């Protein structure tokens, strides 16, 4: 049952991810990316990471993709005109991606210890959000504050970048 759910959602995720890089209309690319993120959230649920799954849907599928769609519509991007594809670029990209995939299969097949079945959590109904919160505010409090400053810096930077004339 778990394996079936995992397979369905990971196949959906990979199919929509392929849609992102294969479709020509930027709006359909963005919608495919939304669906891919939602399917990834479902895969997170099969890993019992409920909080991360909810954050994935809220932040990625919600906020980030709305920003993407706003920009696509603001710039009024149409379907890309078919340009002459550069064969060298495709061959180079294919070689890099293929090399990465072959290295990945070598690494995964060489490690027998990876073939472990998911261990059982001691408290299956454990409060996931509370536990992530404990880890976040006890062990990672300083990085958490720094992340807050980073978000502020990004906000100020975006406001500055969007000004018509930089003075």
Partner 1 sequence: MPTLAHYLIVSGLLFAIGLGGVLLRRNILIIFMGLELMLNAANLSLVAFSRFNLLADGMPNYNGQVLVFFIITVAAAEVAVGLAIIVALFRAKQTTHVEDLNTLKF
Q: Of the two residues 162 and 167, which places its CB atom closer to partner 1 in the complex?
A: 162
Shortest spacing between CB 34 and partner 1, in angstroms:
10
Using CB atoms within 10 A of its CB, is residue 65 exposed (0-12), middle (13-18) or buried (19+)?
middle
The least distance separating partner 1 from the CB of residue 70, rounded to whole angstroms, comes to 8
Q: How far apart are CA 6 and CA 157, in angstroms?
A: 40
In whole angstroms, the minimum distance from the beta carbon of 103 to partner 1 comes to: 9
Q: CB-wise, 114 or 167, nearer to partner 1?
A: 114
Q: What is the distance between the alpha carbons of residues 132 and 165, in angstroms, rounded to a whole number?
A: 43
- In degrees rounded to 5, what are phi and psi of residue 36? -65, -40
- Output the smallest distance, CB 156 to partner 1, in A: 10
Query: In 3D, which of 47, 42, 41, 49 has the Cα closest to residue 128?
Result: 49
């Amino acid at each position: 049952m778990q394996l079936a759910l995992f397979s369905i959602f990971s196949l959906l995720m990979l199919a929509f991810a392929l849609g992102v890089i294969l479709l020509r209309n930027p709006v359909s690319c963005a919608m495919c990316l939304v669906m891919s993120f939602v399917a990834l959230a479902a895969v997170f649920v099969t890993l019992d990471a409920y909080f991360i799954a909810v954050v994935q849907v809220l932040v990625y599928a919600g906020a980030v993709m709305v920003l993407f769609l706003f920009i696509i519509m603001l710039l009024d991007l149409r379907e890309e005109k078919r340009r002459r594809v550069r064969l060298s670029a495709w061959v180079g990209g294919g070689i890099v991606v293929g090399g990465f995939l072959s290295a990945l299969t070598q690494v995964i097949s060489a490690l027998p210890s990876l073939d472990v079945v998911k261990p059982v959590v001691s408290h299956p109904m454990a409060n996931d959000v509370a536990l992530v919160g404990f880890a976040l505010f006890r062990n990672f409090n300083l990085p958490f504050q720094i992340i807050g400053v980073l978000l502020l810096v990004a906000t100020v930077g975006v406001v500055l970048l969007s000004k018509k004339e930089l003075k």
